[in-house]
């Protein structure tokens, strides 16, 4: 098994394009959840989301999600300083759910009205989750192993774990991995139908939390075998020291009530990283702000690490739940917390839930140097993953 | 680059549900001895396609369970159960799942959207929504067979089944998993068929599910499992192509790497992913020629018989294990060619996904 380092970071978040902009927003505790503009929210109880203000990154002929992905992926590759030869052999793993559904929905909505909208063929070709990886590989010259993982809301984190395994197992030296999702009608309407959305910006770990907020974005990282990074003379951001991936096999939408699968993922990550529970200083929680998730996740973290033994925060309080991007945006937030020695806050936390026995870093970022941190992501279908990062 | 030590990976169970085969490896073997084309229908729109006859699924899934499951999830679970039963595996010992799908559950996705378009927010179904996410087949199957290790869903055009088997093989070979249920599934929604027609995919389309139980050979032998074949090499790479497009490049390391893992210079025979999608099939022929040179390698694709779907690639792997066991390569149109040795299962997808697996007798 080879050590896996993070040597490039890229993010397009509801704060805007770029890792610097992302960290500035997180560190300031800014909430980017605002009235929806991309889709018609008439008639819905919730009408807010964390949209990316300026998508940029290439032709408007591409899907919004492809442009989000291209922006973040290009930044990560540039940050890592990877040349064409390394790119040609690099693996690409993308976590995706919605694909180009936003544009496909426009096509389908128009079709239902008996219209034939322009660019329908381009919309359909870019519709599947796999389309992001095809666009990225083609545009950025990535010719190594490529795959697209769909594990619902944990997809972005699973992509990082998949890429890390390809490196650890000696298949490739370098990989680009991350997750992406744009706001879609399907997602917004679905979580509305499940009554899981708060009409106000979400408040993870708050006693009075009422559900999640939808977000969008993309984050990609360059992962690299330690000896390869050393040979290139690159300074890593962090080490991806381990991960644990489990399945609840319990319910299609609800987590197992005791957090058994979540706790198993956290323990597996510790074992993989060869790290004791008390070495972990910070957990970037899945923290969706649904009553159920936050209570069960806090219970699972307490089972593994002991109640109150580490700082826990949910950056979804600022950027919402960015779906397939969430796991990778939160992985980047966790890495930045290590490098900046600052724990991003749970921005909207006013009244801590007494059932959550952790300091959830309310409202204001906390200066704290930690050696190890974890990032949790859980998806529909009980698809749990914990990523473990070590300070480089 | 250091290739770390690889564990031997074997197939211990097969489950197939499609228009030609329903059952475990004996049912597949019986069909492979004399593979006949399956009737194509035009039901619901689009060009003629190979559809699963109504009623096939009804006998496979208990009605109470079926009520809660989308059709594509029922397909997945039925094939998965055949495979797990044939393997005689106890999932409590640790079972992961890798599902490959090209299209996911578009039937539910379309029904969910139609609810809104007909009745506004009041028409939205909370029950349908989880099915709009492509991991729904993996999630329901994990519950159905009590698989609690890693569960992955992989999406890629054309080669999702081959990719799922290759990814699962890598997980077992590296020692990260002892047993993985892996394969592919797709169903053919009429609107999706219409969209694919409009995009110029002119292959024969089908639907169904094929799943295999892959295990570390040492673990499988220790528990006395019947071994159906060995996956001696598995690799996947990316060839440049636009989304859903057919590319021109032919230089990919997938075949060479899979052969190297298996310690072979060339395959003795091969299963290709051709299914009548003319431009894509021609690209695959060029990629194979570039990798294998002028050597004649007996080849077959079952895609034209049962229709292209994500289950096809996994079915090709199970069929390759049968070929390696009995020494027969099925021929389209009747008969079979006598072959020996190990074979290549090859997949090249629209969008440039490229997968190579080497299958041998064990």
> In angstroms, what separates the C-alpha of A46 from chain B's closest C-alpha?
11
Q: Please indicate, yes or no, whether residues A10 and A67 belong to a single structural domain of this protein.
A: yes
Q: Please indicate, yes or no, whether residues A384 and A261 belong to a single structural domain of this protein.
A: yes
The pLDDT assigned to B41 comes to 82
Judging contacts by C-beta atoms under 8 Å, the chain B residues touching residue A128 are 102-103, 155, 157, 244
Nearest CA in chain A to B240: A138
pLDDT by residue (tens digit) across B205-235?
999 999 999 999 999 999 999 999 999 999 9
Q: Does A72 touch chain B (CB under 8 A)?
A: no
User: Alpha-carbon distance A206 to B285, whole Å?
Assistant: 59
Task: Flag if A247 and B132 touch (Cβ within 8 Å).
Answer: no
Please state, for a pLDDT cut of 90, what percent of chain B lies above it: 83
Tally Cβ neighbours within 10 Å of residue A275.
18
Q: Please indicate, yes or no, whether residues A15 and A149 belong to a single structural domain of this protein.
A: yes
Q: Which of residues 322-361 of B touch A (CB under 8 A)?
A: 351-353
**B242 or B263, which is more confident:** B263
Q: In 3D, which of A10, A314, A338, A377 has the Cα closest to residue A178?
A: A10
Residue A117 forms part of a structural domain:
yes
Task: Flag if B195 and A124 touch (Cβ within 8 Å).
Answer: yes
The pLDDT assigned to B43 comes to 62
Residue A58 forms part of a structural domain:
yes
Q: Are strands B269-271 and B299-300 parallel, antiparallel or unpaired?
A: parallel
The pLDDT assigned to A356 comes to 97
Q: Is A153 a catalytic residue?
A: yes
The pLDDT tens digits along chain A (392 residues) read: 899 999 999 999 999 999 999 999 999 999 999 999 999 999 999 999 999 998 876 777 899 999 999 999 999 999 999 999 999 999 999 999 999 999 999 999 998 888 877 678 888 889 999 999 999 999 999 999 999 999 999 999 999 999 999 999 999 999 999 999 999 999 999 999 999 999 999 999 999 999 999 999 999 999 999 999 999 999 999 999 999 999 999 998 889 999 999 999 999 999 999 999 999 999 999 999 999 999 999 999 999 999 999 999 999 999 999 999 999 999 999 999 999 999 999 999 999 999 999 999 999 999 999 999 999 999 998 999 999 999 99
* Main-chain phi, psi angles of A192, to 5 degrees: -60, -45
- List the domain range (segments joined by +) for residue A112: 4-232
The pLDDT assigned to B1 comes to 47
CATH number corresponding to B9-222 = 3.40.47.10
Task: Flag if A150 and B252 touch (Cβ within 8 Å).
Answer: no
Helix (H, G, I), strand (E, B) or coil at B87: helix
> In angstroms, what separates the C-alpha of B7 from chain A's closest C-alpha?
12
User: Alpha-carbon distance B318 to B316, whole Å?
Assistant: 5
Q: Is A321 a catalytic residue?
A: yes
Residue A74 forms part of a structural domain:
yes
Chain Cα centroid distance, residue A86:
25
Judging contacts by C-beta atoms under 8 Å, the chain A residues touching residue B124 are 189-190, 192-193
User: Alpha-carbon distance B92 to B15, whole Å?
Assistant: 20
**pLDDT for B353 beyond 50:** yes
The pLDDT assigned to B44 comes to 60
Q: Please indicate, yes or no, whether residues A20 and A93 belong to a single structural domain of this protein.
A: yes
Q: Does A13 touch chain B (CB under 8 A)?
A: no
Q: Please indicate, yes or no, whether residues A70 and A203 belong to a single structural domain of this protein.
A: yes
Q: Does B94 touch chain A (CB under 8 A)?
A: no
Residue A47 forms part of a structural domain:
yes
Residue A44 forms part of a structural domain:
yes
Token pair 């381990």: residue:
A242
Give Rg (Cα) of chain A. 19
The pLDDT assigned to B2 comes to 46
Q: Which of residues 227-256 of B touch A (CB under 8 A)?
A: 235-245, 252
Give Rg (Cα) of chain B. 19
Q: Please indicate, yes or no, whether residues A254 and A115 belong to a single structural domain of this protein.
A: no
Residues A104/A124, Cβ–Cβ less than 8 Å: yes
pLDDT by residue (tens digit) across B103-151?
999 999 999 999 999 999 999 999 999 999 999 999 999 999 999 999 9
Q: In 3D, which of A144, A173, A170 has the Cα closest to residue A231?
A: A173
Tally of structural domains, chain A = 2
> In angstroms, what separates the C-alpha of B334 from chain A's closest C-alpha?
36
Judging contacts by C-beta atoms under 8 Å, the chain B residues touching residue A185 are 113, 116
User: Alpha-carbon distance A298 to B319, whole Å?
Assistant: 48
**pLDDT for B85 beyond 70:** yes
Tokens of B47: 């060009």
Helix (H, G, I), strand (E, B) or coil at B326: helix
Give the burial class of B39: count Cβ atoms within 10 A of its Cβ; 0-12 exposed, 13-18 middle, 19 or more buried.
exposed
Task: Flag if B199 and A186 touch (Cβ within 8 Å).
Answer: no
CATH of the domain at A290: 3.40.47.10
Res. B48 pLDDT band, cuts 50 70 90: confident
Q: Are strands A238-247 and A383-391 parallel, antiparallel or unpaired?
A: antiparallel
Residues B138/B160, Cβ–Cβ less than 8 Å: no
pLDDT by residue (tens digit) across B307-333?
999 999 999 999 999 999 999 999 987
Tally Cβ neighbours within 10 Å of residue B84.
26
Q: Does B4 touch chain A (CB under 8 A)?
A: yes
Tally Cβ neighbours within 10 Å of residue B348.
31
Going through chain B in order, the beta strands assigned E by DSSP cover: 9-18, 22-23, 96-101, 151-155, 179-186, 208-216, 229-238, 269-271, 299-300, 328-330, 336-338, 343-348, 353-360
Domain boundaries, chain B: 9-222, 232-360
Q: Please indicate, yes or no, whether residues A52 and A143 belong to a single structural domain of this protein.
A: yes
Residue A358 forms part of a structural domain:
yes
Mean pLDDT of chain B: 94
Mean pLDDT of B70-77: 97
Chain Cα centroid distance, residue B37:
19
User: Alpha-carbon distance A331 to A91, whole Å?
Assistant: 19
User: Alpha-carbon distance A301 to B153, whole Å?
Assistant: 26
Residue A237 forms part of a structural domain:
no
Helix (H, G, I), strand (E, B) or coil at A294: helix
Catalytic residue among A132, A243, A286, A372: A286
**B139: nearest CB among A138, A145, A382:** A382
Report how far apart, in Å, the C-alpha atoms of A296 and of each of A93, A320, A360, A386, B285 are: 29, 19, 15, 15, 53
Give the burial class of B2: count Cβ atoms within 10 A of its Cβ; 0-12 exposed, 13-18 middle, 19 or more buried.
exposed
Q: Please indicate, yes or no, whether residues A180 and A299 belong to a single structural domain of this protein.
A: no
- Which residue, A232, A267, A287, sits at the end of a domain? A232
Angle A19-28/A326-340 helices, nearest 10 degrees?
80
Residue A108 forms part of a structural domain:
yes
Q: Please indicate, yes or no, whether residues A298 and A182 belong to a single structural domain of this protein.
A: no
User: Alpha-carbon distance A335 to A384, whole Å?
Assistant: 20
Q: Please indicate, yes or no, whether residues A62 and A115 belong to a single structural domain of this protein.
A: yes
Q: Are strands A383-391 and A372-379 parallel, antiparallel or unpaired?
A: antiparallel
Catalytic residue among A31, A46, A132, A153: A153
- pTM confidence score: 0.97
The architecture of the domain spanning B232-360 is 3-Layer(aba) Sandwich (3.40)
**Alpha helix locations (H) across chain B?**
25-33, 63-67, 71-87, 106-119, 136-145, 160-173, 190-198, 217-222, 254-262, 278-292, 303-306, 310-326
Res. B193 pLDDT band, cuts 50 70 90: confident
Residues A111/A127, Cβ–Cβ less than 8 Å: no
Disruptive mutation site among A94, A137, A263, A385 for chain B (greatest number of B CBs within 10 Å): A137
Q: Please indicate, yes or no, whether residues A223 and A329 belong to a single structural domain of this protein.
A: no
Q: Please indicate, yes or no, whether residues A81 and A159 belong to a single structural domain of this protein.
A: yes
């Amino acid at each position: 098994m080879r050590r896996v380092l993070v040597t490039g970071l890229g993010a397009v978040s509801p704060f805007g394009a770029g890792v610097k902009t992302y960290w500035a927003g997180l560190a300031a505790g800014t909430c980017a959840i605002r009235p929806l503009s991309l889709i018609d929210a008439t008639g819905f109880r919730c009408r807010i989301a964390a949209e990316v203000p300026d998508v940029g990154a290439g032709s408007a002929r591409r899907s919004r999600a492809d442009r989000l992905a291209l922006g973040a992926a290009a930044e990560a590759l540039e940050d890592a300083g990877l040349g064409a030869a390394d790119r040609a052999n690099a693996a690409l793993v993308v976590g995706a759910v919605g694909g180009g559904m936003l544009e496909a929905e426009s096509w389908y909505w128009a079709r239902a009205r008996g219209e034939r909208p322009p660019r329908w063929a381009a919309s359909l070709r870019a519709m599947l989750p796999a389309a992001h990886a095809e666009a990225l590989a083609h545009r950025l010259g990535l010719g190594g192993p490529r795959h697209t993982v769909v594990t619902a809301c944990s997809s972005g984190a699973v992509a990082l774990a998949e890429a890390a395994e390809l490196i650890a197992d000696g298949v490739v030296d370098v990989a680009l991995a991350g997750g992406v999702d744009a706001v879609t009608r399907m997602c917004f309407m679905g979580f509305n139908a499940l009554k899981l959305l708060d009409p106000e910006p979400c408040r993870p770990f708050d006693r009075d939390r009422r559900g999640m907020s939808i977000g969008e974005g993309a984050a990609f990282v360059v992962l690299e075998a330690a000896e390869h990074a050393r040979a290139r003379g690159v300074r890593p951001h962090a080490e991806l020291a381990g991960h644990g991936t489990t399945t609840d096999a319990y319910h299609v939408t609800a987590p197992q009530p005791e957090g058994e699968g979540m706790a198993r993922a956290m323990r597996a990550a510790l074992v993989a990283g060869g790290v004791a529970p008390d070495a972990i200083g910070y957990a970037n929680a899945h923290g969706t702000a649904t009553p159920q998730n936050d209570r069960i996740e806090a219970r699972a973290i307490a089972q593994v690490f002991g109640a109150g033994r580490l700082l826990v925060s949910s950056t979804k309080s600022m950027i919402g739940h960015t779906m397939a991007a969430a796991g990778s945006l939160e992985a980047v937030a966790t890495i930045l917390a290590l490098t900046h020695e600052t724990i991003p806050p749970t921005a909207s936390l006013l009244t801590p839930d007494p059932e959550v026995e952790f300091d959830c870093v309310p409202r204001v970022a906390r200066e704290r140097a930690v050696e190890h941190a974890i990032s949790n992501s859980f998806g529909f279908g009980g698809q749990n993953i914990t990523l473990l990062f070590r300070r480089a | 680059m250091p290739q770390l030590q690889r564990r031997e990976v074997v197939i211990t169970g097969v489950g197939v549900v499609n228009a030609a085969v329903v059952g475990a490896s004996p049912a597949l073997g019986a069909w492979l001895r004399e593979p006949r084309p399956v009737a194509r229908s035009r039901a619901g729109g689009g060009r003629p396609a190979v559809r699963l006859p109504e009623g096939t699924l009804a006998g496979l899934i208990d009605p109470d369970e079926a009520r809660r499951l989308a059709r594509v999830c029922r397909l997945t679970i039925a094939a998965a159960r055949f495979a797990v039963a044939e393997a005689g595996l106890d999932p409590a010992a640790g079972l992961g799942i890798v599902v490959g799908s090209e299209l996911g559950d578009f039937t539910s996705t379309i029904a969910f959207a139609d609810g809104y378009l007909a009745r506004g927010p009041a028409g939205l179904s909370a029950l349908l929504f989880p099915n709009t996410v492509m991991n729904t087949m993996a999630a329901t199957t994990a519950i159905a067979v009590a698989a609690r290790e890693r569960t992955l869903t992989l999406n890629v055009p054309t080669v999702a089944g081959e990719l799922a088997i290759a990814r699962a093989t890598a997980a077992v070979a590296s020692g990260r998993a002892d047993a993985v249920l892996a394969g592919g599934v797709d169903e053919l929604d009429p609107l999706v068929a219409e969209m694919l027609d409009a995009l110029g995919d002119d292959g024969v389309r089908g639907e169904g599910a094929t799943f295999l139980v892959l295990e570390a050979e040492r673990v499988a032998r220790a528990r006395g499992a019947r071994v159906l074949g060995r996956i001696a090499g598995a690799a996947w790479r990316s060839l440049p192509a636009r989304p859903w497009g057919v590319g021109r490049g032919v230089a990919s390391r997938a075949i060479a790497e899979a052969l190297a893992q298996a310690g072979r210079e060339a395959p003795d025979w091969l299963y290709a992913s051709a299914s009548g999608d003319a431009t894509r099939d021609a690209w695959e022929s060029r990629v194979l020629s570039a990798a294998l040179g002028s050597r004649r390698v007996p080849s077959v694709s079952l895609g034209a018989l049962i229709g292209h779907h994500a289950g096809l690639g996994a079915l090709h792997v199970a069929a390759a294990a049968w070929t390696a066991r009995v020494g027969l390569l099925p021929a389209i149109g009747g008969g079979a060619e006598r072959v020996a040795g190990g074979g290549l299962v090859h997949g090249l997808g629209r969008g440039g996904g490229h997968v190579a697996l080497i299958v041998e007798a064990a």
